Structure 1
Amino acid sequence: MTTPTQPSIKYGRPVTTDGVPNLYAGSVVVPWTPPDPGIDNLGISSVDTFAVPGVGEYTVAFDGFVRVVRSEPTSREWSNAEVYTNLIEMKMVGHCDELGTITVVLNPDCLSTGQIRTPFDPYAGEGPSAKACRMAVGAVFTMPKLGLTLINKEPIILTIDDVRQIPPAGSPGKGQIYRMLPLHDVNHPDDEPVAYVTSLRFTMGGYITAEEIAAK
């Protein structure tokens, strides 16, 4: 599933994919250096905890891939460079006995966006400073065993600290979730939530091949 050109919900700045090359396994990443625009094809894994009222709370390990398009950096100097990102494709699959197999993809009604920049730090010393990565994501969670397809109406905020290279492949991150993030039935999005995400921890993997993406 890919993000449409004009989604109804935009969490941030659109980034064009026109003429932007796909980057796969074997691509070189240079630390402390703002890269040219690219579409990063990366592995990703996560451990999410779901609370389903009347059913229980369950922790599920996921594995999959993301495709992220990056903008032209605002500067060729690392210290001043900001990079904007859009998630253009995602697929993650996890399983637990109680919830069955869960598939997570991007919500096509949302433009999932992010930014990589240097946080303001009045006490920063000399030398290059690490950046922080933030992305707001709209997703679709399919849980066939429960007969549910769920969406988040509030964005999932994925964050990575201590970013020393772009993309931050191999870096651990976390979802900024305060206690619980509501998940709604896609067919009744204005009704009460039917489940919640209560924790999300992920690791952004390295570049993978086109064949690995097709296999997932």
Structure 2
Amino acid sequence: MTDSSSRPTTVYGRPVTTDGVPNLYEGTAVAPWTPPAPGIDNLGITSVDTFAVPGVGEYTVDFSGYVRVVRSEPTSEEWSSAEVYTNLIEMKMVGECAELGRITVTLNPDCLSTGQIRTPFDPYAGEGPAAKACRMAVGAIFDMPKLGLRLANKEPIILTIDDVRQIPPAGSPGKGQIYRMLPLHDVQRLDDSPVAYVTSLRFTMGGYTTVEAMAAR
């Protein structure tokens, strides 16, 4: 993001540089309870999302695809005290149902989607390594060509993963922290009333994927 004209106008957290950071794909070793060196994690992902579209209905859609996440230098070499900052730099997920048609979810280029992995405060924690928690605030674009809709969330989607014992948390289930419904707006009329809602989001972060698998999406 060296060109100021291309910088996101909405920044949800701390930017993480991609300069000199290696891309990591299938075959990368992951050590539990160990803060890793910076990397760009190319991971598979699946999700089950429920959409409510006024006048159309409420539908649950299975998605699959990939994400690319850049990680910062850990703040410590010790697992217990290390914090890691993340940016979601690319995403593509595709799902389909008869009523809504094919839906493609990508990152909103106007938002910097950011996150953090850290150990939650727990005054009753016992001995031994404690699991961390991962959260990320995401701005997305939802393309629904069958309905003629291209939608964006103005409020961030908060993706959370608990019980993180390795970084990246491959294979871990997570959920979107959505209170009842998350408004989705027409990208051409963001200040108008929402035209659809996300009412539920449950995802599983997959393992490292390949360039070929990502290109096939």
Instruction: Give the match's secondary structure for 2:142.
Output: strand
Unaligned runs of 5+ in 1: none
Determine if the alignment matches structure 1 residue 191 to structure 2 residue 174.
no
Q: Which residue of 2 aligns with 1:114?
A: 115
Aligned residue identity for 1:137: V
CA positional deviation for 1:5: 5.7
Distance of 2:56 and 2:8 partners within structure 1: 33
Q: Which residue of 2 aligns with 1:57?
A: 58
Q: Which residue of 2 aligns with 1:182?
A: 183
Percentage of pairs with the same residue: 84
Instruction: Give the match's secondary structure for 1:162.
Output: strand
CA deviations over 1:127-169 (Å, ceiling 9, x no partner):
1000000000000000000000000000000000000000000
Distance of 2:106 and 2:50 partners within structure 1: 17
Distance of 1:57 and 1:13 partners within structure 2: 35
Distance of 1:193 and 1:76 partners within structure 2: 45
CA positional deviation for 1:83: 0.1
Distance of 2:201 and 2:54 partners within structure 1: 18
Aligned residue identity for 1:167: P
Q: Which residue of 2 aligns with 1:31?
A: 32
Distance of 1:18 and 1:215 partners within structure 2: 26
Q: Which residue of 1 aligns with 2:145?
A: 144
Q: Which residue of 2 aligns with 1:163?
A: 164
The 5-angstrom pairing of residues 55-94 of structure 1 reads 55-94=56-95
Distance of 1:191 and 1:5 partners within structure 2: 25
Distance of 2:72 and 2:127 partners within structure 1: 27
Distance of 1:5 and 1:125 partners within structure 2: 47
TM-score by length of 2: 0.97
CA deviations over 1:59-118 (Å, ceiling 9, x no partner):
000000000000000000000000000000000000000000000000000000000000
TM-score by length of 1: 0.98
- Structure 1 residues 5, 131: CA separation in 2 closer, same or farther (over 3 Å shift)? farther
Instruction: Let me know the Cα RMSD of the aligned residues.
Output: 0.8
Distance of 1:13 and 1:26 partners within structure 2: 29
Distance of 1:50 and 1:154 partners within structure 2: 16
Unaligned runs of 5+ in 2: none
The 5-angstrom pairing of residues 41-56 of structure 1 reads 41-56=42-57
Q: Give the number of equivalent residue pairs.
A: 213
